[in-house]
Amino acid sequence: MSIISEHGFRMDGRRPAQIRNINTRLGLNRNAEGSCYLEHGNTKVLCAVYGPYESKASKRLEDRCAIVCQYSTTTFSGLERKNRPRGDRKSTEISRLLEKAFESVILTESFPRSQIDIFCEVIQGDGSNLAACVNATSLALADAGIPMKGIASAATCGIVETKPIVDLTSREETDLLPRVTLATICGRDEVILVELQNRLHIDHLSVVMDAAKATCADVYECLAVVAQQHLKACAPILGN
């Protein structure tokens, strides 16, 4: 099974540098300040944002607001049913990564001594889960009206025999394939998150990074459309 066929297509009919279709719905969860349901093809993620509110004493920071994130997967998100959906090493790592990334996007100095909670739940995982969470979170934050430097967008990019492929599905995320997840702000050259899985040869790094940056810009285009449409839909409520 080759990831890029002789004809230059991937197993699902995409070209190597194409992303999957993105589907979203904002404001599903009325209890939360902001929420977003996002699909990257078959990867489906739900994100809810609470806050900012006055933080607990233990988390309180005097000069800025604290970001607390929890990443989890449903028991039925993968091929096999998982018994412990949260709190394992991998989920914790992803939670910390998301916190770090969004600390640099949200204008945290605006809310000293307060806290923002982000909950990300993967409903169905079909590759590029972290990237989907970043994208869902940034839309949920936008839905909550939290001031940010811009909309963050993320993409996963791998390399197959010197050729980059983007937005990997779970079938493409094989054990040995080096994968980079990159997140930037507004598709510009401002990187807020990089994660590497498996070993990547140094010669391929620039290739992967360039492909990932370009893809982040593509994803940003889509997210911007979502944000604009949502804003238009909300216009009657807001009045102008």
Partner 1 sequence: MDLNVKQSGIHSCVLHTSYFKNRSGKVYKRAAERYLRTDLPCGLAQCEDCKDFGTNSLLKTENPVKNSKVGRHVLIVDSTSLIRFHDLFDSELLRNIIVTQTVWEGVKAKAVPAYKKMNSLCYEDAKDRFHVFMNEFHCETFSDITKYEDVSRGEELLLCTANYLTSHWEKQNVTPVLMVFDEESKKRLEKHYQHVLYLKEYIQNLEDSGKQALLDQMAAYESSANNNERQIFEEHLSHDKIMDGIANGTIKRGTFSVSRENYREASVIIDDQLNSWFITGNHCNRSVNGDVVAVQLLPEDQWTCPEKKIRLRDVEEYVNNADDMGKVEEDDEDEPKAKKAKKNSVPTAKVVGIIKRNWRQYCGMLLPSSVKGARRHLFCPAERLIPRIRIETEQAEILSQQRIVVAIDHWPRDSKYPLGHYVRSIGEMGSRETENEVLLLEHDIPHAPFSDQVIDCLPKEEWEPDLNDNRGTLPRVDLRHLTICSVDPQGCTDIDDALHCKQIGDDLFEVGVHIADVTHFVRPNTAIDDEAALRGTTVYLCDRRIDMLPCLLSSNLCSLRGGEERYAFSVIWTMTSNADIQSVKYHKSLIKSKAALTYERAQEIIDDPKEQGDVAQGLRELMKLSKVLNSQRTSNGALTLASSEVRFDMDWESRTPKKVMEKQHLDTHSMVEEFMLLANIQVAKKILEEYPDCALLRRHPVPLKESYKPLIEAARHRGFEIIVESGKGLADSLNRCVDKKNPMLNRLLRMLTTRCMTQAVYFSAGTVPVPQYQHFGLACSIYTHFTSPIRRYADVIVHRLLAAAINADDIQSGLLSQARCTKVCGNINYRHKQAQYAGRASVQLNVVRYFKGKVETCEGFVMGVRNNGIQVFVPKYGLESIIVLQPGSGTTIDVEEMAVKVNGEAVIRELEPVTVKISVNEKNQQRPRVELQLIKPAIPGLSVDFDLSTSEGLGL
Chain contacts with partner 1 (rule: CB under 8 A): 6-7, 9, 11-15, 18-24, 41-42, 79-80, 162, 169, 171, 201-204, 218, 221-222, 225-226
Q: Least distance from C-beta 1 to partner 1, angstroms?
A: 11
Does the N-terminal peptide bond of residue 52 adopt cis geometry, omega within 30 degrees of 0? yes
∠ CA(212), CA(168), CA(120), 5° rounding? 90
Of 96 and 171, nearer to partner 1 (C-beta) is: 171
Catalogue the E-assigned strands of the chain: 22-26, 34-40, 43-54, 66-73, 114-124, 152-160, 163-166, 179-185, 191-197
Of 138 and 169, nearer to partner 1 (C-beta) is: 169
Cβ contact 83:75 at 8 Å: yes
Q: Which residue has the tokens 């963050």?
A: 152
Tokens of 174: 């094989």
Of 23 and 110, nearer to partner 1 (C-beta) is: 23
Q: Which residue has the tokens 């102008």?
A: 240
Q: Least distance from C-beta 105 to partner 1, angstroms?
A: 21
H or E element that contains 53:
strand 43-54
Of 104 and 124, nearer to partner 1 (C-beta) is: 124
DSSP state for residue 65 in the 8-state scheme:
-
Of 117 and 167, nearer to partner 1 (C-beta) is: 167
Q: Least distance from C-beta 227 to partner 1, angstroms?
A: 12
Q: Least distance from C-beta 71 to partner 1, angstroms?
A: 23
Q: Least distance from C-beta 96 to partner 1, angstroms?
A: 29
